[in-house]
Chains A and B, each alone.
Chain A
Amino acid sequence: MADSLPTEFDVVIIGTGLPESILAAACSRSGQRVLHVDSRSYYGGNWASFTFSGLLSWLKELEPDSEAGDRSLAAWRTLIRDTEEAIALRGQDDTIQHVEVFRYASEDGGDGAEEMGALQRNPSSEASSTLAQPLDPACPSEETHPDSTSPETPARDTPQPDGDISAEVTDGEENQVTGEDGGGQTCVHPASGGAEDENKPAAEDGPDPPRRTRITYSQIVKEGRRFNIDLVSKLLYSQGSLIDLLIKSNVSRYAEFKNVTRVLAFREGRVEQVPCSRADVFNSRELSMVEKRMLMKFLTFCLDYEQHPGVLEDRDVTRRPFSEFLKTQKLTPNLQHFILHSIAMAEPSCSTVDGLKATKHFLQCLGRYGNTPFLFPLYGQGEMPQCFCRMCAVFGGVYCLRHRVQCLVVDKESGRCEAVIDGLGQRISAKHFVVEDSYLSRETCAGVRYPHISRAVLITDRSVLQAESDQQVSILTVPPSGPGAPAVRVAELCSSTMTCMKDTYLVHLTCPSARTAREDLEPAVQALFTPSTEADTDTGDLGKPRLLWALYFNMRDSSGVSRTSYRGLPANVHVCSGPDCSLGNEHAVKLAEALFQHICPGEDFCPPPPNPEDIIFDGEDKPPEAPGTSDIIMAKLEGPEGSQNPESPGQHPQN
């Protein structure tokens, strides 16, 4: 099949992270011929989501692969002409470090447990896990990097285990997919998706059972496909650039969203709900009448703080830290805490202007889709890149997963990149090349120093703040533990987000790295949770949620690296960064749009697909029957003769 891959494209994009995928969709939509490849077997790169077993095999894949480096060095060398030189790409991803896994849930039922429906199971993944260990830094239970070289297929994202070319973006949402062939007529707005979904899962699950159910590790493994564990923990700001882009481009129809239901604060050792919307303030029982007024007054002020000249003219005030400014605003300490940490989500060093800006953005996002400013994509953040890939494919983009690109081919004279050579030794030429920076070789990145993101993924048995409904999606900021330490962002997802099994919660912790992820995040984890083993003596329901499983790792944050830091890259090779540390997706969208303007100057960025009735068909130049169907690309890839008419009936393998 790979032999039939066309050898000429307008744009070749390497890496399927969010910025690359948005860029791929934009280019494809503008009529560029796009080849989008990823050496991994799943979409999204460091933006991906995994089932539980998928995550375990991802962890194994991180193990250095001795074959990778020199596998076919000789093969591609011969394809380089004299007038050309090659820039090798990196075969092994080294953006993830300091991986540590802890298993707290009891084994119950022995080692025989396996994920139901897993496509390819590697028994060693279960066997290599060690038993639960206490959260004692003195004796960490290392179970990382077991000796295993056979990677397990991350389940959901690879529907065609035999092919290395996957033309279809699987997103596991049949209802959305079937709705798409009508074209632009019935626009599925993310609002309706999110809002409708709000009550459904809660109704299904009913009230909390009186007894805390014990989840065992084998249950987690068995129900592993219920998990969609994000490598990056992000949310969509309701008025953010990603939402705007999803709506503008109609990509929103490929995804469903759920509102974050609560914004929480961690203060004086207690988790409490932050009243952030007008309705919250009205309903709050914790705030006094005067506090309600003070909070509303301050928030109203923030909404148009630029209009209050008195505040901004005073340069001293604006340069002082936001926390200092809040102290001057007649706010009680708990209100100051709420605003600083949970609403502005400000770093300790955050200036007053930035704090006001963040608060304003938060407030502007309120009420668009619900009572908090955030949306979470059902099935995880990993859906986002895939949705854009789907859009790209609909407009003719060609997709290849598990497709290595070995090098960029640069013409010595012009200094431009002419082609790439892929893992099969095929030479593919294009005008523009986009490379996700984890593919860049050590030589290329020699001068670059990367900051890191500390991440923790926890599976717990209960919410950090129990409420009437157990189906809550919460965002919480744990303030810095001391001077110089970062604030820790916590996102807690319930099972109705389709990211974890019933009766569990998936908790993501994120902060900029100071040390290893565990060193950075463990204090916050200990403050909020208790290891499952200790909880055995726990009698009441008053204790903290139990930890069932925990993963720590550091991820490289290349978002701040400027293009000029990379050595020897031709002008038509563009670099996309991996995920950044911030909560929103603003950086990815901005990056994709900037690169798009470079590649297609003056073109509209991801305009909505035309309505089916506005598409003109004529005999000679047959366009795809309608946007929103991925048939055309399937047909193209299926037919090796390449001359097949995609319009002829019976040629739609997927429909």
Chain B
Amino acid sequence: MHGRLKVKTSEEQAEAKRLEREQKLKLYQSATQAVFQKRQAGELDESVLELTSQILGANPDFATLWNCRREVLQRLEAQKSPEELATLVKAELGFLESCLRVNPKSYGTWHHRCWLLSRLPEPNWARELELCARFLEVDERNFHCWDYRRFVAAQAAVSPAEELAFADSLIVRNFSNYSSWHYRSCLLPQLHPQPDSGPRGRLPEDVLLKELELVQNAFFTDPNDQSAWFYHRWLLGRADPQDALRCLHVSRDEACLTVSFSRPLLVDPGTETLLLIVDESPLAVEWRTPDGRNRPSPVWLCDLPAASLNDQLPQHTFRVVWTAGDVQKECVLLKGHHEGWSRDSATDEQLFRCELSVEKSTVLQSELKSCKELQELEPENKWCLLTIILLMRALDPLLYEKETLQYFQTLKAVDPMRAAYLDDLRSKFLLENSVLKMEYAEVRVLHLSHKDLTVLCHLEQLLLVTHLDLSHNRLRALPPALAALRCLEVLQASDNAIESLGGVTNLPRLQELSLCNNRLQQPAALQPVASCPKLVLLNLQGNPLCQTAGTSEHLAELLPSVSSILT
């Protein structure tokens, strides 16, 4: 028929395609085999380059073959003249580019390029920057390429200002770009170095305000874009708090010294990272964590020899030095006293403001204002709500406590997928507030009942607490960190959903433990409690295990020293 084309049917096309693929696979496999054979035989010559380029040209993600190529190139480096090498390198760079076009997100290819460039005597960095720009033009969020760009910029010593301008140009195109925001966060502190006295990485106020405006532009334009919110949080929370020794406690009765740090640390046995000096002479001790697991922990303790505690002297001085952080703390145990301690009177700032640590509260205030403005327009935006909560905490956790709890309520309603996370966060904030209140009152009793807590944190702050009331919450466990409460005498944890008691262990002074109306199923769950030597009263009423026959006998056997067990 006139003008009508005869075209293969779809079956014929499929068949042709299948044959073609089969052929390709055969070639691919035989080439792979050949490469491996040659490698095994140590025949690392140009033929391997040729073979691997066939395979990598089709599949640049074959990491082993890149290794192969590196081996070959290394060997050839020794054998070839500089001119020959130059041609070889040029070919390799070209080949890499073609592989990047096949897959611009291939780890192996970018890595190989880094490797090659760093071996060249005179690498052409300008060309590499151009390459990055071209690949980012195609996909401005290709983090492989961003990585490579940072490598190139560092090698070529490109000025941070130029790199910032480049990052800017991509933010302008599309601000949903974690890589570009991140690069900003690396470049800005370099561009605006702060005097040594200030905390590291903090930006000068004028720069900070400009950045805040930029990022506000982003989240007012699209409040659901996370990248801007993350950058916002970075801007407001710049300074890393320094390691600090928070509290030192010596107990004569238990012959024990306890240290608490501002963050979890690992004290390696054998290394001298944590030193104890008693009465001006070093004392070798064995440090352990309260739960005995010796993992990174904010609390470490050691047994003291009787000599360090004898009551003949008017006092003993204990000094602990954390060598890694260059901090130390001293406490005195006076004659006739059972215990001695030394503690920073913690302020909210030191304790909990690490996340949003901008110096000026005016900045935080104005950020809070614009976030509230946005929240009025977008009452259901979770990022906005969360940021408001964080800002309020940074400004004044106690003043904003009530308001914060209301925002949590809203946030939970709009983001039910993260309800448990939010409950835990809320518990954390409530606990922090309680700790602050307790410290301001300088008491050793802490009431945390009826707070809807789902998780316990900051327990390392409670080293000196003697009475702790956790009843009427939603706790499911008394976690191992609870073992840090070395002075705890009475623990009330009734009316929760507790199933495990991992933290009620080795508490040297614990006398009373109330666990009514929880979810303890088996007497075996009480096992950790057996290690508390002074426990006399244990109330287990209203737990499932009370229904099981023989529980009382079982418990009596497990906890022989506990005089009164109520079931």
What are 29 inter-chain pairs, A to B, with CB distance below 8 A? A31-B2, A31-B3, A33-B2, A33-B3, A278-B221, A279-B172, A282-B172, A282-B218, A282-B221, A282-B222, A283-B172, A283-B217, A289-B216, A289-B220, A289-B370, A289-B373, A289-B374, A292-B220, A293-B221, A293-B374, A395-B5, A610-B7, A613-B16, A614-B13, A615-B7, A617-B6, A618-B6, A621-B6, A624-B5
Q: Is B173 an interface residue (CB 8 A)?
A: yes
In the complex, whether A472 has a CB less than 8 A from a CB of chain B is: no
Known A-B contacts A279-B172, A279-B175, A292-B217; A31 and B373 likewise in contact (beta carbons under 8 Å): no
A279 to B373 Cα, complex, angstroms: 22
A129-B259 Cα distance, complex, nearest whole Å: 99
- Total residues of chain B contacting the partner, CB 8 A: 26
> What total of A-B pairs shows CB separation below 8 Å?
76
Given contact pairs A283-B172, A289-B370, A290-B373, A296 touches B221 in the complex (Cβ within 8 A): yes
The answer, yes or no, to whether A303 is at the interface (CB within 8 Å) is no
Neighbouring A residues of B378 by C-beta, 8 Å: 293, 297
Do B217 and A614 have beta carbons less than 8 Å apart? no
Q: Is A396 at the interface (CB under 8 A from chain B)?
A: yes
Find the A residue at minimum CB distance from B172: A283
Give Cα A486–Cα B351 distance, bound, in whole angstroms.
67
Inter-chain CA distance A617–B175, complex, in Å, is 53
Q: Does A281 contact B (CB under 8 A)?
A: yes
**Residues in chain A within 8 A of chain B (CB atoms):** 28, 31-33, 278-279, 281-283, 289-290, 292-294, 296-297, 395-396, 609-610, 613-618, 621, 623-624, 627
Assess whether A28 is in contact with B3, with CB atoms less than 8 Å apart.
Answer: yes
With A and B bound together, what is the CA distance between A32 and B174 in angstroms?
Answer: 48
Inside 8 A of B221's CB, which chain A residues have their CB?
A: 278, 281-282, 292-293, 296
* A394 (CB) vs chain B CBs: closest residue: B3
B172 engages A614 (CB within 8 Å)? no
Q: Determine whether B360 belongs to the interface, using a CB cutoff of 8 Å to chain A.
A: no
Q: Which residues of B contact A281 (CB under 8 A)?
A: 221
Give bound CA distance, A621 to B4, whole Å. 10
What is the bound-complex CA distance between A278 and B176, given in angstroms? 10
Q: Does B223 contact A (CB under 8 A)?
A: yes
Instruction: Please provide the 5 A-B residue pairs with the shortest distance between their CB atoms, ordered closest to farther.
Output: A396-B3, A31-B4, A610-B7, A289-B220, A616-B6
Residues of A within 8 A of B8 (CB): 610, 614-616
Extra A-B contacts (17), CB below 8 Å, given A282-B172, A297-B377: A28-B3, A31-B2, A31-B4, A32-B3, A278-B221, A278-B222, A279-B172, A282-B222, A283-B217, A293-B220, A296-B220, A296-B222, A396-B3, A615-B8, A616-B6, A623-B4, A624-B5
Expressed in whole angstroms, the minimum distance between the Cβ of B375 and any Cβ of chain A is 11
**B1 an interface residue at 8 Å Cβ cutoff?**
yes
Complex CA gap A308/B44 in Å reads 67
> How many angstroms between the C-alpha atoms of A31 and B3 in the bound complex?
5
User: Which B161-220 residues have C-beta < 8 A from chain A?
Assistant: 172-175, 216-218, 220
In the complex, A617 Cα to B7 Cα: how many Å?
9
A608 nearest CB across to chain B (Å): 11
Residues of chain B within 8 A (CB-CB) of A289 are 216-217, 220, 370, 373-374
| B6 partner residues in chain A, CB cutoff 8 A | 615-618, 621, 623
| Complex: chain A residue closest to B223, CB-CB | A293
Whole-angstrom distance between the Cβ of B312 and the nearest chain A Cβ: 72
A627 to B223, CA, bound (A): 50
Task: Determine the distance from Cα of A224 to Cα of B172 in the docked complex, in whole angstroms.
Answer: 38
Interface centre among B13, B174, B217, B374 (most CB of A within 10 A): B217
Interface string of B14-35 (1 = CB under 8 A from A): 0010000000000000000000
A294 and B377 contact, Cβ closer than 8 Å, known pairs A31-B3, A282-B217, A610-B7: yes
Are the CB atoms of B377 and A293 closer together than 8 Å? yes
B5 touches A627 (CB 8 A): yes
Q: Mark B471-491, 1 if CB is under 8 A from A, else 0.
A: 000000000000000000000
Q: Which among A289, A297, A613, A617 has the greatest number of chain B C-beta atoms within 10 A? A: A289
Question: How far is it, in angstroms, between the C-alpha of A618 and the C-alpha of B3 when the chains are bound?
Answer: 15
Residue-wise interface mask of B (353-372) relative to A, using a CB-CB cutoff of 8 A (1 in contact, 0 not): 00000000000000000100
Distance (whole angstroms) from the CB of A343 to the closest CB of chain B: 16
* Inter-chain contacts of A294 with B (CB < 8 A): 377
Bound-complex Cα distance A289 to B217 (A):
6
CB distance from A32 to the nearest CB of B (A): 8
Closest chain A CB from B117 CB (angstroms): 27
> How far apart sit A621 and B3, CA to CA, in the bound complex (Å)?
10
Q: Identify the interface centre among B5, B223, B373, B374: most chain A CB within 10 Å of its CB.
A: B5
CB distance from A12 to the nearest CB of B (A): 15
Residues of B within 8 A of A609 (CB): 5
- Output the least CB separation between A505 and chain B (Å): 25
Which residues on the A side are within 8 Å of B16 (C-beta)? 613
Measured between C-beta atoms, what is the minimum distance from A303 to chain B in Å? 13
CA of A289 to CA of B222, assembled, Å: 11
Q: CB distance B5 to A615 under 8 Å?
A: yes
Contact with A along B314-343 (1 / 0, CB 8 A): 000000000000000000000000000000
* Minimum C-beta distance from B255 to chain A (A): 62
Cβ 8 A contact of A614, one of B3, B7, B174, B374: B7
Find residues 362-417 in chain B having any chain A CB closer than 8 Å to their own CB.
370, 373-374, 377-378
Residues of B within 8 A of A615 (CB): 5-8
Residues of A within 8 A of B7 (CB): 610, 614-616
B420 to chain A, nearest CB (A): 30
Closest to A371 in B: B173
A340 to chain B, nearest CB (A): 21
Pick the contact of A623: B5, B222, B370, B373 (CB < 8 A).
B5
Report B-chain residues with C-beta under 8 Å of the C-beta of A28: 3
State the CA gap A156–B331 with chains docked (Å): 96
Nearest CB on A from B22, distance (A): 17
How far apart are the CA atoms of A278 and B13 in the complex, in Å? Answer: 43
A396 partner residues in chain B, CB cutoff 8 A: 2-3
Minimum CB–CB distance for B205 against chain A, Å: 20
Q: Which residues from 234 to 268 on chain B have a C-beta closer than 8 Å to any C-beta of chain A?
A: none
Question: In whole angstroms, what is the CA distance A614 to B13 when docked?
Answer: 7
Minimum CB distance partner of B216 in chain A: A289
**In the complex, what residue of chain A is closest to B138 when comparing beta carbons?**
A195
A392 to chain B, nearest CB (A): 10
Nearest CB in chain A to that of B171: its residue: A282
Bound-complex Cα distance A290 to B174 (A):
20
Interface centre among B6, B13, B173, B373 (most CB of A within 10 A): B6
In angstroms, how far is the closest chain B Cβ from the Cβ of A31? 4
**CA–CA, A297 to B4, complex, Å?**
52
Q: How far is the CA of A623 from the CA of B2 in the complex (A)?
A: 9
Residues facing A in B30-46 (CB within 8 A) are none
Closest to B374 in A: A293
- Given A290-B373, A293-B378, A614-B8, check contact A279 B3 (CB 8 Å): no
Complex: A618 Cα to B370 Cα, angstroms: 74
Considering the complex, give the chain A residue whose CB is closest to the CB of B1: A31
User: Which of chain B's residues have a CB closer than 8 A to the CB of A614?
Assistant: 7-8, 13
Q: Which of B1, B7, B16, B173 has the most CB of A within 10 A?
A: B7
Q: Which chain A residues lie closer than 8 Å to B374 at the CB level?
A: 289, 293
A282 to B8, CA, bound (A): 51
Once the chains are docked, how many angstroms separate the CA of A616 from the CA of B13? 11
